[in-house]
Amino acid sequence: MSFGPGSDLFACAQIVERGDPERFAAAMAAPVSARTVLFPLYAFNVEVSRAPWVTQEPMIARMRLQWWHDALEEIASGGFVRRHEVVTPLAQALAGVAVAPLQQAVDAREADLEHAPFADESALMAYLDQTAGHLAVAAMAALGTANVRQAEVRPHAKAAALARYLQAVPVLESHGKLPLPDGRAETIAAMAKARLQDLQEVPSLRSLRRRYGPAGAALREFAQGKPLLQLAAQDPAAVAEGRLRLSEFQRRWRLLLG
């Protein structure tokens, strides 16, 4: 597959660059061969994640999500797959990979249609696991690792997903959503510390990348998770104030190390 201008892969890369700069940087740090998998998957994630936000009509948003659910069903069937700048390369990237987890990730996005907060922290973490965790495991499978030790990978996925979610709190609130079941500073700090504790109990990202070889490229997107949660634990007010971010130097350094 070509990355040249006008190609589907080029279109996917542009979608990710505009909609998910962090994952774009992670994909660009990966070998070119890995990008042919990561860019379609990450573009798919961008399209699905924004489906609930591009319209004020819940029914239309559900139709958009169903469209992606059906596209994944076509990919799984191995027959006709609709022509689309993301779906077409996604079908090639997911050849031989189970798509049911990605369909569950699509279904989980229905929670974004609700303005009410998640019932509790467990519900929020389940949502983050279904979205970020399923995406990462699918990416690793598509990169050649069939037997992912999910108990070691998913804590990194959930930590990074929580960090991203906390960064998005001000934007979510501006759209009328109550993003956190409990937005008090002490609760945010405790939630961040809990995920940091989870990371203490599994191998580091660097160790996992070495273990999984080429498939470890899918783990680069988690590089900012730990340092951002450390900031949230130390200064939880940064979440509501939109200050939860690393410097450009820190971002690049973490990406290199992660």
pLDDT given for residue 4 in this prediction: 72
Average pLDDT score over residue span 227-243: 97
Residue with tokens 């979205």: 131
Could you report the per-residue pLDDT of 37-96, keeping only the tens digit for each?
999 999 999 999 999 888 888 899 999 999 999 999 999 998 899 999 999 999 999 999
In order, the DSSP letters of 107-144 are: HHGGGGG--SPPSSHHHHHHHHIIIIIHHHHHHHHHTT
Rg for the chain, CA atoms, rounded: 18
pLDDT given for residue 153 in this prediction: 96
CA–CA distance from 210 to each of 9, 221, 257 (Å)? 27, 15, 12
- For residue 256, give the DSSP letter: H
In order, the DSSP letters of 188-201 are: HHHHHHHHHHHHHT
Residue 107 has pLDDT above 90, yes or no: yes
Burial class for 241, CB neighbours closer than 10 Å (0-12, 13-18, 19+): exposed
- Cβ(148)–Cβ(177) under 8 Å? no
**% of the chain residues with pLDDT over 70:** 98
The residues, ordered by sequence, that sit 6+ positions from 37 with a Cβ below 8 Å of its Cβ are 93, 139, 142, 143
Lowest-pLDDT range, 94-98, 147-151, 164-168?
Answer: 147-151
Task: Give the Cα separation of 108 and 106 in Å (integer).
Answer: 5
Can you read off the two tokens belonging to residue 82? 């609709």
pLDDT given for residue 146 in this prediction: 78
Work out the angle at residue 89's Cα, subtended by the Cα atoms of residues 87 and 94, and round it to the nearest 5 degrees: 85
Average pLDDT score over residue span 123-131: 97
- Cβ(65)–Cβ(57) under 8 Å? no
**% of the chain residues with pLDDT over 90:** 85
pLDDT given for residue 161 in this prediction: 98
The residues, ordered by sequence, that sit 6+ positions from 193 with a Cβ below 8 Å of its Cβ are 229, 233
Q: Where are the chain's structural domains? A: 1-113, 116-258
Residue 255 has pLDDT above 80, yes or no: no
Residue 249: which pLDDT band, with cuts at 50, 70 and 90?
confident
Q: What is the mean pLDDT of the chain?
A: 94
pTM: 0.94
pLDDT given for residue 2 in this prediction: 62
pLDDT given for residue 254 in this prediction: 82
Residue 257: which pLDDT band, with cuts at 50, 70 and 90?
low
By residue count, the chain amounts to 258
pLDDT given for residue 228 in this prediction: 97
